Amino acid sequence: MDTSVFESTTVKGQDRYRAGVMQYRKMGYWEPDYEPKITDVIALFRVTPQDGVDPIEASAAVAGESSTATWTVVWTDRLTACEKYRAKCYRVDPVPNAPGSYFAYIAYDLDLFEPGSIANLSASIIGNVFGFKPLKALRLEDMRMPVAYVKTFDGPATGIVVERERLDKFGRPFLGATVKPKLGLSGRNYGRVVYEALKGGLDFTKDDENINSQPFMHWRDRYLYCMEAVNKAQAATGEVKGTYLNVTAGTMEQMYERAEFAKELGSCIVMIDLVIGYTAIQSMSKWARRNDMILHLHRAGHGTYTRQKTHGVSFRVIAKWMRLAGVDHIHAGTVVGKLEGDPKTTAGFYDILREEKNAVQLEHGIFFEQDWASTRKVLPVASGGIHLGQMHELLHLLKDDVVLQFGGGTIGHPLGIAAGATANRVALEAMVLARNEGRDIMAEGPEILNQAGRTCLPLRQALDTWGDVTFNYASTDTPDFVPVAVASY
């Protein structure tokens, strides 16, 4: 790209409004001298123009089509403070090692957005531009939300700290399991799995994303049997337990009905799926806040648009939207499990969910500083093909504030579900204890597990069964920047 193009090409005065078609970069959507205001929303897009399309024009088009522009000049712009409302692309960089792709930084005035509405934000930013013909592909990589905008959202109903206080669990990751098989269990059989897993030592069990109300198990039946299991396990252990009752349904009215029933039965947590939509998620967050309920979000469907690097929306943006929308839990990857997850990219997601301020960290895919302005923290959930043989890696990579969910790794234990749960809990506690004692768990992890297995048969058996299982595949969603060693002076 020729750097001589980095100057404003905006047409001024009445020429700007002459009827006809004009390049986006001439209409005020390319402003390389623009300095974003602290109140601006900033979006970073990965733009891949069609062959022969100028990257600056393509980026200006993204700014235009995600704010005020249409394909032709309209005189009605002049009835408005149109320069304020135009999104401004202010920087375009080639993507390292990806010829033909560019990072476009675009600033949006705060007045373009309705306060407290992810639906409105996303309708603006991703509503129109992703099908734009001059682009081969487009990806929303990251966003910076100004504090003024962050403060228009309630954020998580509960948050990590209050969840820990409410459940009286401090100092270690939470342990969970998704009930398996995903489909087909009757309510009575389903509750059996919940009881065994909780009694054995897990903190939570979980409905899967597609467990709603099917012919084999209606939702009320599941809730009733699950709460019998939760209460029984609580009395058997003297410890607070929970099960994520999925309230996802076809209509908002049905979801409220299910959530109310979960509350009536004394559940401390309900869950929803990402596919219910941003508005429904925000509604459920408000409901959770009114009803002292922890709200778990399963990111069902996200892989359709987050996984490929060239096109879609990065999960780091979804994570930011969901922290604003106000969920308490969100699945955010495991690194070592069966699902997509580059370690550094995943670390970036975890930082977004858990930190009070995010610093720029290009090698984690974080392009902007983000001040969360005391918005509560979201508890990330690591789920999908993880097992206790990886406990040292999980604790090292994901740290303490996470739910580790071992579904198959609990229910598939050769001695039964409760034994599977006990094995997980012992492995976790042994690893936390060792780390706190200053041991190098990445080096000594397997030895620490074997040692703990000497006094715990279920752990020993689990290690014999799964100790060596790994899922080593190359990730598709990886950072574009690697840390470079530079001489220090």
Active site residues: 180, 298
d(Cα 103, Cα 94) in Å, to the nearest integer? Answer: 6
Binding-site member from 148, 240, 275, 300 for other proteins (CB under 8 A): 240
Interacting span for other proteins (CB under 8 A) from 34-42, 84-92, 124-132, 164-172 = 164-172
Residue 194 exposed, middle or buried by CB count within 10 Å (0-12, 13-18, 19+):
buried
What the block records as the tokens of 83 is 């320069």
Q: Which of 476, 115, 105, 147 is nearest to 314 (CA)?
A: 476
What contacts 24+ positions apart, CB below 8 Å, involve 460-467?
461/413, 461/414, 461/415, 461/419, 461/423, 462/387, 462/388, 462/389, 462/409, 462/413, 462/420, 462/423, 462/424, 462/427, 463/388, 463/389, 465/412, 465/413, 465/414, 466/387, 466/388, 466/389, 466/409, 467/389
Decide whether 52 or 238 has the Cβ nearer to other proteins: 238
Interacting span for other proteins (CB under 8 A) from 2-10, 70-78, 165-173, 205-213 = 165-173
Interacting span for other proteins (CB under 8 A) from 88-96, 263-271, 306-314, 479-487 = 263-271
236 binds other proteins (CB under 8 A): yes
Decide whether 70 or 237 has the Cβ nearer to other proteins: 237
Q: Which helix (H) or strand (E) is 149 found in, with range?
A: helix 147-150
Interacting span for other proteins (CB under 8 A) from 100-108, 112-120, 411-419, 420-428 = 420-428
239 binds other proteins (CB under 8 A): yes
201 binds other proteins (CB under 8 A): yes
Q: Which of 13, 14, 12, 36 is nearest to 26 (CA)?
A: 12
Decide whether 163 or 477 has the Cβ nearer to other proteins: 163
438 binds other proteins (CB under 8 A): yes
80 binds other proteins (CB under 8 A): no
224 binds other proteins (CB under 8 A): yes
The size of the interface with other proteins (CB under 8 A), counted in residues, is 40
Site string for other proteins, 144-163 (x = CB under 8 A): -----------------x--
Residues within window 348-367 making contact with other proteins, judged by CB under 8 A? 356
Decide whether 31 or 163 has the Cβ nearer to other proteins: 163
Q: Residue 438 has what DSSP assignment?
A: T
Decide whether 114 or 447 has the Cβ nearer to other proteins: 447
d(Cα 377, Cα 294) in Å, to the nearest integer? Answer: 12
Decide whether 280 or 459 has the Cβ nearer to other proteins: 459
d(Cα 174, Cα 176) in Å, to the nearest integer? Answer: 7
429 binds other proteins (CB under 8 A): yes
451 binds other proteins (CB under 8 A): no
457 binds other proteins (CB under 8 A): no
Residues whose CB falls within 8 Å of the CB of residue 451, separated by 6 or more in sequence, listed in order: 430
Q: Number of helices and strands (H, E) in the chain?
A: 17, 15
45: three-class secondary structure by DSSP: strand
Interacting span for other proteins (CB under 8 A) from 93-101, 142-150, 233-241, 283-291 = 233-241
The helix, strand and coil proportions of the chain, stated in percent and rounded to the nearest 5, come to: 45, 15, 40
Binding-site member from 116, 132, 151, 228 for other proteins (CB under 8 A): 228
d(Cα 297, Cα 383) in Å, to the nearest integer? Answer: 12
Residues that bind other proteins (CB under 8 A): 161, 164-165, 168-172, 201, 220, 224, 227-228, 231-232, 234-240, 264-266, 356, 374, 377, 422, 425-426, 429-430, 432-433, 436-438, 452, 455
